Structure 1
Amino acid sequence: MNSIPEPQLTLDGSEPLTPATVRTLDALCDAAEDATGATTPLVVAVTGAPAARMDVPLPLVNKWERAVRRLEKLAVPTVALVTGDCGGTALDVLLATDVRVATPDARLLPLAGAGTDEVWPGMALYRLANQAGVAATRRAVLFGDALDAERALALHLFDELAADPAAAFAPVFEKLTGGAGTGIRRQLMLDASTTSYEEALGRHLAACDRTLRAAVEAAS
């Protein structure tokens, strides 16, 4: 049995977004992309939410979102272990992962800080609306209501609740390991709501062709 990897990244959303944060996530994506043929899941631990509005330069936000998008498009499965409140950069990364296991006290906080009505400058609201729907996230977006763990689980924003997220992740680790083609399937799923049937058909056929070629190569 494969050993469960320690989180390759621990991200605290209560801390300011800095160039170092972007470099750390980019380096993690570099390593995953350079590991040709690797299928071991990439694990991140996320916690924390901004306590107040943070002044973040827009060019830095742009670099951060490019890094988060790289994480979202990696070929390997990605897993988030969530503890407590989750907002800011932690929420950005959480919503870009494939599997999310959270503690029962976890809450998703999409605004820029407690007592503010400002939007966190990342793309968390975009991903929330796409993944859970506008109606389901309306109060969190308009009024700053936190999405508690049970609500997030019901909306499929979390996959499981457990006092020890790492231990709860263990039973599905073997299923994720060896998940060749995860990136392709994920992209087809993400594209489904934004592309026409004709365009999606071309991408599905291309994905099938790549899969068949890989099978032939593996058999030879």
Structure 2
Amino acid sequence: MAGVDDLVLRVDGDRPLSVADVEAVSRLCDRAEDGFGGGVLVAYVSGVPLPGWTRTLDVGLLSKWERAVRRLERLGVTTVAVATGDCGGVALDLLLAADVRIAVPGARLALPVDGDATWPGMALYRLARQGAGAGVRRAALLGTPIGAHLALAAGLVDVVVDDPAGVLAEVAAEAAAVAGTEVAIRRQLMFDAAQQSFEEALGAHLAACDRALRRGAAS
């Protein structure tokens, strides 16, 4: 994983997960929380883990990584991932945690295989929760890569384009018109909607509506 430049992260999924990866994502989250009230965070992701990638892993490191990804997933900024080539491991984790997912033609989402089965990390959880269709099941169970257009049809990416710059500019313009804190609230409501009944969700949505009305009156 490369270093952080403002709110941009370049992720090399070929490399096994390391403490440096956790620290890079944590520093990015610090910058987003401390210096930005909104805007866009961009992660360029590519690469899949090479054979033997789990040899240096332990549950403690995995736990720290998953907490870092979850923190990024809940930031008060709009997060965008741009996928190129095969994406697995840390690259897939960050892609599936982003608000907006852009894939370049030829990109593939690949749940890595360790030994005799696919890796059971939280990318598996996000694939199952966010995607639909036989392609997602084959990826989760057999490790079959999901091509860019199949990922688009399954709802795992938002757009497939040759040049992501135009889409990034559009997202940045849209994000500039909304408050980061409010983005985080809307995102959480969407997360919760997947597992809550209408009655369970109603209170949180009404509270968010009340907050919006108060903000409008104050301005």
Contact 1:39 1:178 in 2 (8 A): no
Instruction: Tell me which moved more, 208-217 or 66-75.
Output: 208-217
Separation in structure 2 between the aligned mates of residue 189 and residue 23 of structure 1, nearest angstrom? 28
5+ unaligned residues in a row in structure 1: which ranges?
A: none
Residue of structure 2 in register with 1:207 after alignment: 208
Contact 2:69 2:97 in 1 (8 A): yes
Residue of structure 2 in register with 1:9 after alignment: 9
**Secondary structure of the equivalent of 1:216?**
helix
Q: Deviations over 1:172-204 (max 9, x none)?
A: 331122222211111111101212333211111
Residue of structure 1 in register with 2:31 after alignment: 31
RMSD over aligned Cα, in angstroms?
1.9
Separation in structure 1 between the aligned mates of residue 136 and residue 52 of structure 2, nearest angstrom? 21
Separation in structure 2 between the aligned mates of residue 13 and residue 72 of structure 1, nearest angstrom? 18
Q: Deviations over 1:115-165 (max 9, x none)?
A: x54333530010011001374511112221110011011112111112222
Contact 2:102 2:159 in 1 (8 A): yes
Contact 2:15 2:50 in 1 (8 A): no
Contact 1:76 1:179 in 2 (8 A): no
Residue of structure 2 in register with 1:70 after alignment: 71
Separation in structure 1 between the aligned mates of residue 113 and residue 178 of structure 2, nearest angstrom? 35
One-letter amino acid of the counterpart of residue 217, structure 2: V
Residue of structure 1 in register with 2:189 after alignment: 188
Give the TM-score taking structure 1 as reference length: 0.88
Deviation of residue 11 (structure 1)?
0.8
Separation in structure 1 between the aligned mates of residue 60 and residue 215 of structure 2, nearest angstrom? 39
Following TM superposition, the consecutive aligned residue runs of length 4 or more in structure 1 with deviations greater than 6 angstroms are none
Deviation of residue 108 (structure 1)?
0.3
Q: Deviations over 1:58-107 (max 9, x none)?
A: 10000000011011111211101111110000100100101111110100
Residue of structure 2 in register with 1:89 after alignment: 90
**Secondary structure of the equivalent of 1:191?**
helix
Instruction: Tell me which moved more, 13-22 or 204-213.
Output: 204-213
Indicate yes or no: 2:142 matched with 1:143.
Answer: yes
Separation in structure 2 between the aligned mates of residue 27 and residue 144 of structure 1, nearest angstrom? 31
Deviation of residue 216 (structure 1)?
2.5
Q: Percent identity?
A: 51
